[in-house]
């Protein structure tokens, strides 16, 4: 099966109250971002240049910036999220350069980043193949990218379990389960689709590692 380079359905932009609502919901799972940041920091050089691609409220980028003198940048297509993330970084006293821009046409020089992180966002990209080509372009030779996202074949039971662990109010839990079922799963990729996109962007199989968890998939890419 061929995977479309451009998705016909673009979804709704995460602006205004949607961005505020999302920031509050995932803000209850801050520990998840801290654990991720702590797992990635030991692999980075002291002054590593890191891109959080589509950071939303910026939680991962902010937690990572607390752990060392990394040069952390965020790039998001939502003006609301860029503002929210900027304010949160200032509140926390860390320096992160949150910028407005599209993953499919990044405003960065070739070979700019040592590490690129992209969580819960790749499935939303309207031009996934362009985004992967851009990830490859802006990574330094030897640089790595980690994409974490929802797996398309996630079961209803696993979603219930994951949402139950988020500590949400009853109404937000119902709404979040609904969004998973009717919005996010539709946009998510299977392992095969993702590997096909990655290969199409020039990442050879020797430079691609793939793993799956109950609800998600992780793909590690090397340039």
Name the residues that contact ligand SAM, by CB under 6 A: 14, 26, 54-56, 75-78, 81, 102-104, 119-121, 124-125
Residue 80 CB, nearest approach to ligand SAM (Å): 8
Q: How far is CA 160 from CA 25, 31, 149, in A?
A: 16, 19, 17
Nearer to ligand SAM (CB atom), residue 10 or residue 160: 10
Please, what's the largest Cα pairwise distance for the chain?
A: 48
Nearer to ligand SAM (CB atom), residue 124 or residue 129: 124
Tokens representing 68 are: 């060392």
Nearer to ligand SAM (CB atom), residue 114 or residue 149: 149
Among the residues of 72-127, which ranges form H helices? 79-92
Q: How far apart are CA 56 and CA 64, in angstroms?
A: 15
Nearer to ligand SAM (CB atom), residue 70 or residue 122: 122
Residue 207 CB, nearest approach to ligand SAM (Å): 23
For residue 198, the cross-strand partners are: none
For residue 210, the cross-strand partners are: 219
- 1 closest CA partner among 197, 223, 212: 197
Nearer to ligand SAM (CB atom), residue 13 or residue 142: 13
Residue 167 CB, nearest approach to ligand SAM (Å): 16
Nearer to ligand SAM (CB atom), residue 38 or residue 47: 38
Residue 159 CB, nearest approach to ligand SAM (Å): 15
Residue 77 CB, nearest approach to ligand SAM (Å): 4
Residue 55 CB, nearest approach to ligand SAM (Å): 5
Q: How far apart are CA 178 and CA 114, in angstroms?
A: 37
Unique residue bearing structure tokens 């304010």: 87
Nearest residue to ligand SAM, scored by beta-carbon proximity:
56
What letters, b where the CB count within 10 A reaches 16 and e where it falls short, cover 148-185? bbbbbebeeebbeebbeeeebeeebbeebbeebeeebb
């Amino acid at each position: 099966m061929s995977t479309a380079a451009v998705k016909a359905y673009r979804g709704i932009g995460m602006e205004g109250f949607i961005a505020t609502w999302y920031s509050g919901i995932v803000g209850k799972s801050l520990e998840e971002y801290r654990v991720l940041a702590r797992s990635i920091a030991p692999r980075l050089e002291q002054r590593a240049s890191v891109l959080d691609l589509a950071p939303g409220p910026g939680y991962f980028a902010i937690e990572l910036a607390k752990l060392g003198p990394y040069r952390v940048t965020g790039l998001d297509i939502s003006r609301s999220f860029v503002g929210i993330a900027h304010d949160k970084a200032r509140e926390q006293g860390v320096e992160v350069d949150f910028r407005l821009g599209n993953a499919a046409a990044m405003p960065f020089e070739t070979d700019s980043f040592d590490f690129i992180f992209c969580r819960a966002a790749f499935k939303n990209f309207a031009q996934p193949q362009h985004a992967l080509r851009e990830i490859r372009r802006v990574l330094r030779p030897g640089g790595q990218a980690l994409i974490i996202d929802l797996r398309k074949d996630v079961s209803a039971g696993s979603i219930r379990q994951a949402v139950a662990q988020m500590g949400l109010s009853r109404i937000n839990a119902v709404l979040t389960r609904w969004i998973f079922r009717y919005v996010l799963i539709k946009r998510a990729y299977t392992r095969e689709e993702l590997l096909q996109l990655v290969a199409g962007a020039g990442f050879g199989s020797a430079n691609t590692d793939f793993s799956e968890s109950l609800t998600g998939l992780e793909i590690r890419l090397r340039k």
